[in-house]
Chains A and B, each alone.
Chain A
Amino acid sequence: MNHPSDLKLERHLLAPERSPVAAHIGECERCRERVSEMRRQGDDFRRFVYPATLDAVLRPRWRPFRALWLLAPAAGLATVLLIARTGPTSDYVGTKGGPLSLTAYAALPSGARPVNDGEQVPASASLRFRVRADRTCTLTLFSVDGDGQISKLYSREVHGDVTLPGGVQLDGKPGPERFFAVCGDPDSVEQTARKIGARALDLRSLPEFKGAQASVRIEKSP
């Protein structure tokens, strides 16, 4: 059986109603699975890749402290570019202390502001992260949502005070989500996180993991 190529499936995703391969996909489990996978990857792009890379696409030279965020307002009617704040306010109490700290910033129509642990943010808001590591570490930033879905966002070496490039656009689904910053082998971090799953929502750190850690939980509001 000849299956449509990815290029044909891309055309199908763009205009399913005019797709010449729609009938085949309807009858072929393998192609339906591939289309579902492609949709998931498209969602990942919109949620993680787009916010993280838009700045680089718009600007040939990376200037981390003047990064622009693209916001997708809930109504989806317009996009607004905001200048990201570069640091927390002096009275910010989020997830400070220890060898590693993590600060999340939400880009809101009123401006970018740090998010306190447990605070509500709009479910479609963009977030940006800043970490401070006392020692050089391979940092993995991932999130776990209410369904236990683990999303790996970054993995890179950091030292000192670092604003992570780009950002993350939340998925628009109301509910809790916790973001973890963990120093250590990225594969081990990911495996540990996947093993724990949704339970990680209620944990401030991954148990039995020796590397420095910090986390912040948000409540995505409709």
Chain B
Amino acid sequence: MARADIAELYRTWGPAVYRRCLRLLRDTEAARDATQEVFRKALSSPEKLDDPDLALPFIYRVATNHCLNERRNAGRRGEMELDDLDVASEHPQFPQRRLVQRVLSRFDVKTQSIAVGVLVDGMEHEEVASALGISRKTVSRKLARFLDHARKYLERSAA
């Protein structure tokens, strides 16, 4: 792909990547670094970036996975403590106002993406499934497991 084409794609889709990274990392410098890395990853499938219908869910997925990995790795490396994520929607099985990193990091990235999609982004199960390229059944199953474990973990922590 020509450099001018890459630059144009970056100009088109970069804002959405940056916003997603800001939302999940809550730090402008970390989001800036993550944005360029996410976009470089996304360039491995340029045909998806060329198709407006595919591009948005694709970069959303790549950015979400990348930033959740960054959050987990930052904790492992003992680097800056990233702020916990605000929960957007009330959920009877997850009464916390914030999705704390120590709960999130106990799960695989796919489960984290689902939990963030539903709890932080306030997405419907179907929308999460579509954005992540998985079935709605998988979303429901993994979310139920996440909520069950998270609730128990939080109860244990509080005790």
A contact set with B: CB distance below 8 Å = 2-3, 5-8, 10-11, 13-14, 38, 41-42, 44-46, 48-50, 52-54, 56-58, 60, 70, 79, 81, 152, 155
User: 19 A-B pairs, CB-CB below 8 angstroms?
Assistant: A5-B122, A7-B57, A7-B60, A10-B60, A11-B56, A13-B16, A38-B19, A41-B22, A42-B18, A44-B28, A45-B14, A45-B15, A46-B15, A48-B32, A50-B14, A52-B32, A53-B32, A56-B36, A57-B6
With the chains together, A217 CA to B159 CA distance in Å?
Answer: 57
Question: Are B56 and A10 in touch, CB under 8 angstroms?
Answer: yes
Give the nearest-CB partner of A154 in chain B: B29
B76-106 with Cβ < 8 A to chain A: 88
Question: Are B10 and A57 in touch, CB under 8 angstroms?
Answer: yes
Enumerate chain A residues within 8 angstroms of B127, measured Cβ to Cβ: 5, 7-8
Chain A binding surface, main DSSP class: helix
Besides A7-B123, A46-B15, 11 other CB < 8 A contacts? A5-B121, A6-B121, A8-B127, A14-B56, A45-B14, A48-B32, A53-B36, A57-B10, A57-B39, A58-B3, A79-B4
Question: Are A58 and B29 in touch, CB under 8 angstroms?
Answer: no
Known: A7-B57, A10-B56. A54 touches B7 (CB 8 A): yes
Q: Is B20 part of the binding interface, using a Cβ–Cβ cutoff of 8 Å? A: yes
A-B contact count (CB 8 A): 83
What is the distance, in angstroms, from A127's C-beta to the closest C-beta of chain B?
17
What is the distance, in angstroms, from B32's C-beta to the closest C-beta of chain A?
5
Q: Is B152 part of the binding interface, using a Cβ–Cβ cutoff of 8 Å? A: no
What is the distance, in angstroms, from B154's C-beta to the closest C-beta of chain A?
25
What is the distance, in angstroms, from A199's C-beta to the closest C-beta of chain B?
24
6 closest A-B pairs by CB: A42-B15, A53-B36, A45-B18, A5-B123, A45-B15, A56-B36
Q: Is B11 part of the binding interface, using a Cβ–Cβ cutoff of 8 Å? A: yes
Give the nearest-CB partner of A40 in chain B: B19
Question: Are B18 and A49 in touch, CB under 8 angstroms?
Answer: yes
With the chains together, A130 CA to B125 CA distance in Å?
Answer: 49
What is the distance, in angstroms, from B5's C-beta to the closest C-beta of chain A?
11
Give the nearest-CB partner of A41 in chain B: B19
What is the distance, in angstroms, from A84's C-beta to the closest C-beta of chain B?
15
Q: Which of B6, B20, B32 contacts A58 (CB 8 A)?
A: B6
Enumerate chain B residues within 8 angstroms of A54, measured Cβ to Cβ: 7, 10
Give the nearest-CB partner of B15 in chain A: A42
Give the nearest-CB partner of A9 in chain B: B19
Enumerate chain A residues within 8 angstroms of B36, measured Cβ to Cβ: 53, 56-57
Give the nearest-CB partner of A186 in chain B: B29
Residue among A53, A57, A81, A155 facing the most chain B CB atoms (10 A cut-off): A57
Give the nearest-CB partner of A52 in chain B: B32
